Amino acid sequence: MKSVNLIFRRIHLYLGMFLVPWLFVYAFSTFIVNHGSVFRKMRPAPDAWNPLWETEYVGELPQGQADLRKWAEELLEEEGISAARFGVNRNAERALITSQRFLKPVRVTYRFADNRLIAEQREGSWVEALLRMHFRTGYGQGDPQQFIWGLFVDVVCVALIVWVGTGLYLWWKIPRTRRWGVVALVGGFVYFAALVAAL
């Protein structure tokens, strides 16, 4: 039994250490979302994009969204910009491609009026970087790095469940902590359920 307890303690300990950066990111980014008005002042202005390069470009844009994405992906690859995760949209005046990066996203604008292709990079911001990490998904992007990100997110989710499970096991193995442990556990579920029901 002691060996089993030791295994659970080691699992709980090292999982906790493994989860440190992920818990930091999700806890801090959630705090930022919850206090958006405070942290909004720390974010760069909406137009805080620095020019990278500008060149002439003449091309005919496809109409369908799928073909438009293919055009945008090829353009990004030609210009040496990451196409791992990007978005593209167009209107009557321009086509806009945004290459999403955690630290400094890049956007490429194709202006129809003067056939100009303009690349700009977003000013760095630790607040925005944390938010991008919080909301980033990994699967279905067609890029190995994005897949790895999604895989690690899954691993973290499973690790959190195991971490909680091993914590509950270790708590139960200490009889003198059971009473207050039950109070804390039941209290946590009760106030959470009450908030969900009320909101």
Convert the chain into a string of H (helix), E (strand) and C (coil): CHHHHHHHHHHHHHHHHHHHHHHHHHHHHHHHHHCHHHHHHHCCCCCCEEEEEEEECCCCCCCCHHHHHHHHHHHHHHCCCCCCCEEEEECCCEEEEEECCCCCCEEEEEECCCCEEEEEEECCCHHHHHHHHHHCCCCCCCCHHHHHHHHHHHHHHHHHHHHHHHHHHHHHCCHHHHHHHHHHHHHHHHHHHHHHHHC
What confidence tier does 185 reach under pLDDT thresholds 50, 70, 90? very high
Exposure pattern of 139-156 as b/e (b: 16+ CB <10 Å)?
eebeeeebeebbeebeeb
Average pLDDT over residues 112-138: 91
Res. 142: pLDDT tops 70: no
Q: What is the pLDDT of residues 33-51, one digit of tens each?
A: 999 999 988 999 988 999 9
Whether the pLDDT of residue 117 is over 70: the answer is: yes
The b/e string for 158-177 (b: 16+ C-beta within 10 A; e otherwise) is ebeeebeebeeebeeeeeee
- Higher model confidence: residue 60 or residue 44? 44
Is the pLDDT reported for residue 88 higher than 70?
A: yes
What does the pLDDT average to over 94-101? 92
How far is residue 85's CA from residue 141's CA, in Å, rounded to a whole number?
6
pTM of the complete model: 0.79
Residue-level pLDDT at 2: 72
Domains of the chain, residue spans: 2-40+137-198, 44-124
pLDDT of residue 144: 82
Residue 31 has pLDDT above 90, yes or no: yes
Residue-averaged pLDDT of the chain: 91
